[in-house]
Structure 1
């Protein structure tokens, strides 16, 4: 459990009722819910609101009739910017969060110090790189883009090597239904259950592997020595390589308790730090669960600030 012992330095008056770190679906939902119960909030986001949503071409699990990430992102952003009780700090990065006995102190890269009784942290995740998984050997320092960042021009008439079988592959295929591309999906046994939704797409060739040795070539092309789960080896060539091997939690510096997997279990955190969205666990990385957990986090802060019981 996080250290909840008393500390000194509590400000005489605090800047807001709630500090929200992260401007994705979970953070935006927290700000909207906070305003709905009369709480002032400051939302800190180093980029634009719902940045990653704008890169998702197709949705199949969102309410409101939104079938693309940009449409949902526009709706969320418009609602949040009209929320008078929420102050936006866009283009600002958190460099430290400290949880004191009676407040939370958040320092921005500009040196600004924000204080509030509670903080909702919804900084999400970032893509794992080849160096982060044991089944891929790649040149030192190699960094690849996740598949969901690829557009039609990146894929049209090209063969793409996809590292990992994570679910964004299905999203990519739905977003580009008429794109003439070939996806070579190399995945370990642990990802076998994830590839069912793409198995029957004629543009996909599945490559179950035990190990993959990646060798980039000129012009972005790649070759790979693929070792199958039965020990057979063969060479794979592609015009480019993209990632679909999962994500790693993007935890800001400060008073957080991280599990063995790097995520921040909500029940292990300081009582004034409420974790929401994808930062909680790898199991719940869906847009709808992020929206729900952000709303719940704001309500948690509302009830806690008033010493009201929080039902499980």
Structure 2
């Protein structure tokens, strides 16, 4: 087994904070890696206007993303495959094989899957009824001019609401946040903000109103109904896992619990669970995943 040839020591799928941290940690212990990312490195970080829980003094996602991308592109032991996506992942007793959209197959002793999550839409939420084909912008993408002096209906209580409020501390806006019971633990950080009105619901029905405004009928947990109108509607209903096809074990929500995977498949970052979707936890889990592969590989070589 020690003499078997691979394309690299470690394949990393996903170029967000977890995948980049994995590649950097792998290089620090002398492991070669191939990182596959369909977009640019840390693409989602560039869309986060304000940070308050990341070490290093970074106040925006753009600054942090630029720093990570610069460091990783200068990492000699990491080969970047940007603009490529994985079509298949296979794991067996001796190696993993990753197939990319060009048809090329790459092999390594271990793979780290850090593809993260993508945004949900109204059609994905059973507690929302909305017109067919309706698309709404995530709240964290709203600009100051979109919010100034307006009342915004926010569907869902996911944490990017806090990001929006921190990015626009002086914006004169009102957020009507309607959220299901499953989001109750997420709204604590915004509960005391005077710009926010929190409305727990069982179900909402969204419909266009006059002009660009929207109206919603909310049904609360006691089946009481309430009609509301807002200047615009935005999403904050969370994300869905974006795992590649192949040998990954998924839970009922599509996440990939690390302890349920093949021994040669290591999961890092937001793909692990909906509970730990933070930049700092992604960075830490990516680094830990690389060390896991490093020590496991050393044990295999010793046995070989």
Q: Indicate the TM-score class for this superposition, using the shorter chain for normalisation.
A: over 0.9
After superposition, residues 22-41 of structure 1 pair within 5 angstroms as: 22-41=14-33
Per mean C-alpha deviation after superposition, the further-off stretch among 154-163 and 284-293 is 154-163
Structure 1 pair 219/276, CA: closer, same or farther in 2 (3 Å)? Answer: farther
User: Which residue does 2:87 correspond to in 1?
Assistant: 95
Deviation larger for 287-296 or 65-74: 65-74
Question: Secondary structure at the residue paired with 2:34?
Answer: strand
Residue aligning to 1:291:
283
Separation in 1, partners of 2:224, 2:128: 16
> How far apart are the structure 1 equivalents of 2:192 and 2:289?
39
Whether 1:233 aligns to 2:225 is yes
Aligned mates of 1:219, 1:94 — CA distance in 2: 43
Q: Show the counterpart of 2:121.
A: 129
Instruction: Please report how far the alpha carbon of residue 151 of structure 1 lies from its aligned counterpart in structure 2 after TM superposition.
Output: 2.2
How far did 1:31 drift?
Answer: 0.2
CA–CA distance in structure 1, aligned partners of residues 88 and 45 of structure 2: 26
Deviation by residue 1:198-229 (Cα, 9 ceiling, x = unmatched): 12222212222221001245765322111222
The Cα shift of 1:143 comes to 3.1
Matched, 1:188 2:180: yes
Which residue of structure 2 aligns with residue 6 of structure 1? Answer: none
Q: Quote the Cα distance in structure 2 between the aligned partners of 1:75 and 1:141.
A: 38
RMSD: 1.9
- Say yes or no: does 1:77 pair with 2:69: yes
Q: Give the match for residue 267 of structure 1.
A: 259
What secondary structure, in the 3-state scheme, does the structure 1 residue paired with 2:299 have? coil
**5+ residue gaps, structure 2:** none
User: Equivalents in 1 of 2:253, 2:247: separation in Å?
Assistant: 17
Q: Distance in 2 between matches of 1:32 and 1:233?
A: 53
Give the TM-score, by structure 2 length.
0.92
Whether 2:71 is the aligned partner of 1:42: answer no
Quote the Cα distance in structure 1 between the aligned partners of 2:281 and 2:185: 21
Gaps of 5+ in 1: 1-10
Distance 1:148 1:228 in 2: 26
Partner of 1:3: none
Aligned residues: 299
The normalised TM-score by structure 1 is 0.90
Counterpart of 2:164 (choices 166, 172, 193) is 172
Alignment pair present for 1:13 and 2:5: yes
Q: Look up the SS of the partner of 1:306 in the other structure.
A: helix
